[in-house]
């Protein structure tokens, strides 16, 4: 991607008369600028409004627009204090702090587990060929067609009741519904097809010589995987980790269903979604809560944007 943008720009140094070029440039550029700036403003203002509203005093956002805050600046941090630790109005005593912790407690393992399992599988599928390994890889890749919804109910039933044929229990009741374990497991399972696919693309491109040299030296595949593959695949691992982190942190459906309605484990998205429903004009709390929920992914996104974009391109352009 090192090609400078100007090279592909239609208005560029070509065998055109310089007058024509100048006219076209002066016409196209301001129009382009205006359009881009307009779109950018449109895209940013809603989030900005939320941000401002979250600092306005209780009741202010319900009686006047957030844009009036510039004329009468009166800002406070108390909404954050209230929504994090108090806000009994929303049906819990402790505010959203416990749910924020839940989100973190769910997201970190639910990122690391599929990452490790997928990296191992991707290595075997790429470098330890066996009969049917290519077909197997294609099958796993194709599993991306299965929408979460299609697997949801039976998996929930398995977690809560086990699996039976007639009266014979194939898998006993796991009793993990309403615990972190069910959320971690569900997120891991649903992440694997994309994870294996992305990591396989990368790991398969590692030079054969490096791996064979390791094996010739008498190292096992396990050793090669740990000492050669993992360090070299770091960019791909980072890209997927960011993806998965954002996906799990932002997820609503898995949190809603696999937490089994237990407030002890529900992630922040579930809580916020309920707050919107049961909310009665208390915009100052809702906006503060929403801002807390989006600041984490935004921080991850802005600090690791490069990896994020790379992952995006690997998944949807290259194949």
Partner 1 sequence: MSAPVHPFLAGTASDAASKLGQSGEAILIFFGVGLIIFVAAGRATGRLHRPMTITVLLGPALILLAVGLVIPAIRTIYLSFYNDDSTAFISGKNYTWAFTNHSAQQALINTLLWILIAPIVATVLGLLMAVLVDRLRWQSVYKSLIFMPMAISFVGASIIWKFVYDYRAPGRPQTGLLSEIVMKLGWHNPPDWILTHPLNNFLLMVIMVWSQTGFAMVVLSAAIKAIPDDIIDAAKVDGARGLAMAFRITLPMIRNTLIVVLTTVMIITLKLFDIIRTMTGGNFGTEVLANDMYSQTFTNFDTGKGSALAVILFAGVLPLVGYNIVLLRRERQIR
- CB of 183 within 8 A of CB of 249? no
- CB of 199 within 8 A of CB of 205? no
Pick the piece of the chain touching partner 1 (CB under 8 A) from 205-213, 231-239, 309-317.
309-317
For residues 74-103, which are near partner 1 according to CB under 8 A?
76-78, 81-82, 85-86, 93-95, 97-98, 101-102
277 near partner 1 (CB under 8 A): yes
Residues β-bridged to residue 171: 163
For residues 186-215, which are near partner 1 according to CB under 8 A?
186, 188-190, 192-193, 196
26 near partner 1 (CB under 8 A): no
Instruction: Give me the sign of the Cα torsion angle 200, 137, 245, 45.
Output: positive
Pick the piece of the chain touching partner 1 (CB under 8 A) from 206-214, 231-239, 294-302.
294-302
Size of the chain in residues: 319
35 near partner 1 (CB under 8 A): yes
* Count of residues that interact with partner 1, criterion CB under 8 A: 137
Q: How many helices (H) and strands (E) does the chain have?
A: 16, 2
Pick the piece of the chain touching partner 1 (CB under 8 A) from 7-15, 203-211, 231-239.
7-15
DSSP secondary structure of 79-131:
HHHHHHH--GGGT-SSTTHHHHHHHHHHHHHHHHHHHHHHHHHHHHHHHS--T
* In the complex, minimum distance from the CB of residue 209 to partner 1, in angstroms, rounded to a whole number: 20
262 near partner 1 (CB under 8 A): no
- Strand 168-171 and strand 163-165: the pairing is antiparallel
Pick the piece of the chain touching partner 1 (CB under 8 A) from 180-188, 202-210, 232-240.
180-188
Nearest CB to partner 1, comparing residues 236 and 294: 294
What span, in angstroms and rounded, lies between the C-alpha atoms of 247 and 115? 13
23 near partner 1 (CB under 8 A): no
What span, in angstroms and rounded, lies between the C-alpha atoms of 198 and 189? 15
Pick the piece of the chain touching partner 1 (CB under 8 A) from 202-210, 230-238, 268-276.
268-276
117 near partner 1 (CB under 8 A): yes
What span, in angstroms and rounded, lies between the C-alpha atoms of 197 and 147? 16
For residues 222-241, which are near partner 1 according to CB under 8 A?
222-223, 225-226
Please measure the distance between the N-terminal and C-terminal CA atoms of the chain and give it in whole angstroms: 16
Please name which of 50, 210, 193, 217 lies closest in space to residue 125, comparing C-alpha atoms.
193
* In the complex, minimum distance from the CB of residue 91 to partner 1, in angstroms, rounded to a whole number: 15
* Per-residue contact flags (x/-) with partner 1 for residues 160 to 179, judged by CB under 8 A: --------------------
The alpha carbon of residue 288 and the mean position of all alpha carbons in its chain are separated, in whole angstroms, by 21
71 near partner 1 (CB under 8 A): no
* In the complex, minimum distance from the CB of residue 86 to partner 1, in angstroms, rounded to a whole number: 7
């Amino acid at each position: 991607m090192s090609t400078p943008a100007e090279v592909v720009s239609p208005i560029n140094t070509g065998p055109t008369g310089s007058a024509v070029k100048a006219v076209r440039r002066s016409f196209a550029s301001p129009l382009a600028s205006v359009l881009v700036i307009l779109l950018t403003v449109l895209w940013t203002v809603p989030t900005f409004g939320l941000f401002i509203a979250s600092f306005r005093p209780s009741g202010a956002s319900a009686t006047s627009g957030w844009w009036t805050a510039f004329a009468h600046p009166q800002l406070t941090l108390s909404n954050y204090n209230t929504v994090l630790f108090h806000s009994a109005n929303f049906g819990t005593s402790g505010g959203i702090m416990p749910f924020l912790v839940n989100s973190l407690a769910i997201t970190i393992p639910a990122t690391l587990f599929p990452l490790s399992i997928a990296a191992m599988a991707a290595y075997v599928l790429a470098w330890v060929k066996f009969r049917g390994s290519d077909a197997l890889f294609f099958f796993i890749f194709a599993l991306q067609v299965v929408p979460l919804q299609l697997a949801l109910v039976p998996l929930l039933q398995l977690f809560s009741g086990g699996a039976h044929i007639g009266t014979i229990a194939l898998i006993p009741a796991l009793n993990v519904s309403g615990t972190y374990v069910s959320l971690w497991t569900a997120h891991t399972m649903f992440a694997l097809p994309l994870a294996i696919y992305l990591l396989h693309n990368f790991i398969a491109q590692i030079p054969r010589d490096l791996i064979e040299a390791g094996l010739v030296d008498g190292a096992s595949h396990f050793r090669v995987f740990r000492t050669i593959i993992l360090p070299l695949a770091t960019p791909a691992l980072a890209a997927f980790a960011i993806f998965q982190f954002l996906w799990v942190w932002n997820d609503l459906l898995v949190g809603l269903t696999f937490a089994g309605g237990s407030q002890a484990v529900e992630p922040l998205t579930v809580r916020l979604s309920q707050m919107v429903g049961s909310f009665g004009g208390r915009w100052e709390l809702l906006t503060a809560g929403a801002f807390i929920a989006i600041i984490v992914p935004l921080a991850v996104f802005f600090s690791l944007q490069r990896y994020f974009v790379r992952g995006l391109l690997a998944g949807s352009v290259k194949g």
